[in-house]
């Protein structure tokens, strides 16, 4: 049996009769940038996220970058995040002139560990009363924001993160690029901090047919600033209040996202059912740690990631059996060549480093069948029995 890691063609066939008329209308009207599809999606996604405002942008990276700028983060500032994430999280920090600072992750959820965050702030920082800013004592630079990542579709433990931010006057920006529709204590991911950032890369739970992203917020001034940032710093055509970017969401992508958004809960529930079936079958396989859903969370399983010894060998074995897998992520950011200048070494964040060595992403998409899941888990059992 061949089991793909992801199959977007099955999903497309479900909605083809809605997508094609939308594309035809867009072509006939030459409506490609802005317009009712974009504003309609923004209204609907804001409502979905329990947020007042949504601004569509060109990618999840744009969403993160614009969110940081709109929050006033810039040169000389530091932003605390995690090393176990895609580089877009830290690229956005660096590209606004700030510096990423890492704290280690929780060994069960692989998200930011609030205790390690608190320890870092209490032991490595001080509060400067003269500037009302938290300062990293090793760099003497202000820490201005916290950027937790809701990795693999499960929200980080947000209450202690938000509490610490409020104590020290920090901005909380949620990287919810993998967590469309996930819940934290009944609240939607992206709606808990000051700003939430989403990616609509095709493979995401809510994916476009190209690039796309969005920012959600309860703050009207933040939303307005991001609208201008995405459109060359203009609120009115050819009148530029500042230099911005070309970071708009395409109208065709917005139209596709509107069609998909109506099915997102159904698709997320299917992912949860698939995860539950994986959990059931893998519970019988010694040596495999299945994903742990925290009691405060409702994960949407963007990825289904197991922790196992001999990860690389298992991946090769599954590939030979026709099972496609992925690595998210094989090298933590603090050990990437791009961040050598930050001065971190191997051993700086042991939990993230262990995760990078041992995590393996199994096939996960709504249309995955029970037969396919049974085949994948049977193959894993066969490997574990002989290793």
pLDDT tens for the chain, residues 1 to 387: 999 999 999 999 999 999 999 999 999 999 899 999 999 999 999 999 999 999 999 999 999 999 999 999 999 999 999 999 999 999 999 999 999 999 999 999 999 999 999 999 999 999 999 999 999 999 999 999 999 999 999 999 999 999 999 999 999 999 999 999 999 999 999 999 999 999 999 999 999 999 999 999 999 999 999 999 999 999 999 999 999 999 999 999 999 999 999 999 999 999 999 999 999 999 999 999 999 999 999 999 999 999 999 999 999 999 999 999 999 999 999 999 999 999 999 999 999 999 999 999 999 999 999 999 999 999 999 999 999
Rounded CA separation 266/177 (Å): 19
Rounded CA separation 154/134 (Å): 29
Which alpha helices (DSSP H) does the chain contain, by range? 8-29, 36-48, 60-70, 88-95, 114-124, 158-168, 220-229, 251-261, 264-282, 311-320, 350-358, 370-386
Place of tokens 């603090």: 334
The CATH 3.40.640.10 domain(s) of the chain lie at 8-261
Burial 336-364 (b: 16+ CB within 10 A, else e): eeebeebebeeebbebbbebbebbbbbbb
State the pLDDT at residue 213: 98
State the pLDDT at residue 352: 98
Rounded CA separation 245/231 (Å): 6
Rounded CA separation 202/140 (Å): 41
Cis-peptide, bond into residue 344, ω within 30° of zero: no
Q: Which CATH architecture has domain 264-386?
A: Alpha-Beta Complex (3.90)
User: With left for phi above 0 and alpha for psi between -120 and 50, is residue 299 left, alpha or beta?
Assistant: beta
CATH class of 8-261: alpha beta
Q: What is the DSSP letter of 151?
A: G
The CATH 3.90.1150.10 domain(s) of the chain lie at 264-386
3-state helix, strand, coil in the chain (%, to 5): 40, 20, 40
Pick from 104, 132, 159: nearest CA to 356: 104
Provide the token pair at 346.
């191997």
Place of tokens 């709606």: 191
* Contact (CB, 8 A) for 300 and 179: yes
């Amino acid at each position: 049996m061949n089991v793909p890691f992801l199959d977007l063609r099955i999903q497309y066939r479900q909605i083809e009769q809605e997508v094609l008329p939308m594309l035809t209308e867009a072509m006939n009207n030459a409506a490609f940038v802005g317009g009712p599809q974009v504003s309609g999606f923004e209204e609907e996604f804001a409502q979905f996220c329990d947020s007042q405002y949504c601004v569509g942008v060109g990618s999840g990276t744009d969403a993160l970058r614009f969110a940081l700028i709109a929050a006033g983060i810039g040169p000389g500032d530091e932003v605390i995040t995690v090393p176990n994430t895609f580089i877009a999280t830290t690229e956005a920090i660096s590209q606004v002139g700030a510096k990423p600072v890492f704290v280690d992750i929780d060994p069960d959820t692989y998200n930011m560990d609030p205790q390690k965050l608190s320890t870092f702030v209490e032991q490595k920082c001080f509060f400067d009363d003269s500037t009302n800013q938290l300062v990293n004592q090793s760099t003497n630079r202000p820490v201005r924001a916290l950027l937790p990542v809701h990795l693999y579709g499960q929200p980080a433990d947000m209450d202690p993160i938000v509490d610490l931010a409020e104590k020290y006057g920090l901005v909380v920006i949620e990287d919810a690029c993998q967590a469309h529709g996930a819940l934290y204590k009944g609240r939607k991911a992206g709606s808990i901090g000051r700003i939430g950032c989403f990616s609509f890369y095709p493979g995401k739970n809510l994916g476009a047919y190209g690039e796309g992203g969005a920012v959600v917020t309860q703050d009207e001034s933040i939303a307005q600033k991001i609208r201008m940032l995405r459109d060359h710093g203009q609120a009115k055509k050819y009148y530029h209040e500042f230099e911005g970017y070309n970071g708009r969401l395409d109208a065709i992508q917005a139209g596709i996202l509107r069609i998909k958004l109506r099915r997102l809960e159904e698709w997320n529930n299917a992912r949860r059912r698939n995860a539950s079936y994986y959990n059931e079958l893998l519970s019988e396989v010694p040596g495999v740690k299945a994903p742990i859903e925290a009691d405060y969370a409702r994960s949407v399983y963007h990825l289904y990631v197991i922790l196992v010894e001999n990860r690389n060998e298992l991946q090769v074995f599954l590939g030979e059996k026709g099972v496609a897998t992925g690595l998210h992520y094989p090298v933590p950011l603090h050990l990437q060549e791009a961040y050598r200048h930050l001065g971190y070494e191997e051993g700086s964040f042991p939990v993230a480093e262990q995760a990078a060595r041992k995590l393996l992403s199994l096939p996960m998409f709504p249309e995955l069948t029970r037969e396919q899941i049974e085949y994948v888990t049977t193959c894993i059992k066969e490997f574990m029995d002989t290793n």
